[in-house]
Structure 1
């Protein structure tokens, strides 16, 4: 249970580096380093020729849960009816029988007029 609470409240980010349409690197908790093909800035400011960069960085942030306690006063009437009927059914599920009831007590066993096991036996002499 502690692990579930830990992972539900933890926030982290996933950084991905794409070179073209291909995923090259993925990193958690830090920035992806890349493939080394990033375009460098031109040396001179007056140079207007720029080449399109083929690399792309994406970052996915997974936010954790901040509020752990749910308030009981936000339960709707339908949820209260469900809880009450569930608890009532669960408690009555374990009611035991007052006495041991057997439906076979009224029947008497059949009377055997011969010993059936002796009819099927064979003896070696």
Structure 2
């Protein structure tokens, strides 16, 4: 499961958009367009801009290296064969143990009246 997540996360690409008004970060967005500040509308009329947008692109891996069983070394083939054989045939099947007192029910316990009532002879 961990390896599948690692492959998935290494191949995903995404962009992070940031909108700055002066030196102040106004909005950050990963999946949608960033929200512009109120200064952006005024700047269009004045032709002077103090706002800026930054776009960071995180590129994922495009090509994955796949290896087939035939590409492996002879020593790896030997190890895998021995491991599979040991795993399948290496464990002994133990005989079932018989439990002689399996169906025995214990006797009913009677409560100690002296302890329950806290009455002792001194």
TM-score tier by shorter-chain length is: 0.3 to 0.5
Bigger-Rg structure (1/2): 1
TM-score, normalization by structure 2: 0.47
